[in-house]
Amino acid sequence: MSTEPSLHGRRRPARNDELLAIPWLEVLDERQRERVALEIKVSDALPGDFICRTARPVTYWFGVIDGLLKMSTDNAEGQTMTYTGIPPGGWFGEGTALKREPYRYNIQALRSSIVAGLPVDTFHWLLDHSIGFNRFVMNQINERLGQFIAAREIDRMNNPDARVARSLAALFNPVLYPGVGELLRITQQELAYLVGLSRQRVNEALNALQAQSVIRVEYGGLRVLDLGALRSSIFLKHPR
């Protein structure tokens, strides 16, 4: 039996460098930032740890300081459907926090990650007291809607290269994931989990994207060279 404390048991106050990685803190005034900084908790998630689970009550609004998470659901047959990955800078679950309803999805760490949580009561306090925070959350929900519409479209694609391209483009969203920049630290196996293809097929797709000068495969990650092309997949001249 593991003696490792649970994710909740490993929570701790956020360090200053971790607070600097939270994008929405800058829209708050000084008094609001001081209050919120004291209430944010951070935990070191191990690979496979669940941050949220289906049907569990919402207690925090979560974000990724470092690492990579995946959002998924399991159907009645036990099959897992992955919706998206959540890289650094991404905050998620604002809809669930707004409605204070149980989670309808699982969030799981694909690798060792640093996850921050804002208590749901503090989340609602900010909604009541900060116009800037309201705008941030509204932008998040708007971008998330577009992301999930795109995810449905990706699920129906029978071109593996296009599926990989569009899935990568979603992870480079500068509004939802401002901590990524131009270099996404991800392995081919992690990308395969998110896209729903084999690692070998993902490798083929990445080679095709690199040959078209859309991305560059670097040590430990992928650098986007043409985000517009990655989103549209117009560079794919010979669908398979």
pLDDT digits (tens, 9 = 90+) for 183-225: 899 999 999 988 888 999 999 999 999 999 999 999 889 999 9
Q: Where in the chain is the domain with CATH 1.10.10.10?
A: 158-232
Q: Where in the chain is the domain with CATH 2.60.120.10?
A: 8-151
pTM of the model: 0.86
Q: What is the pLDDT of residue 1?
A: 47
Q: What is the phi-psi region of residue 52: left when phi exceeds 0, alpha when psi lies from -120 to 50, beta otherwise?
A: beta
Q: Residue 170: which residues within 8 A CB-CB, separation 6 or more?
A: 84, 85, 147, 150, 151, 154
**The two three-digit tokens of residue 143, written as one number:** 């971008």
**The two three-digit tokens of residue 218, written as one number:** 């670097």
In CATH, which of 3.40.50.300, 2.60.120.10, 2.40.30.10, 3.30.365.10 is domain 8-151?
Answer: 2.60.120.10
Q: Domain 158-232 falls in which CATH fold?
A: Arc Repressor Mutant, subunit A (1.10.10)
pLDDT at 240 over 50: no
- Distance, CA of 235 to chain centre: 26
Average pLDDT of the chain, as a whole number = 89
Section 69-87 average pLDDT:
83
Quote the CA–CA distance of 153 and 197 in Å, as a whole number: 16
| pLDDT tens figures, 148-178 | 776 666 666 678 888 899 889 889 988 999 9
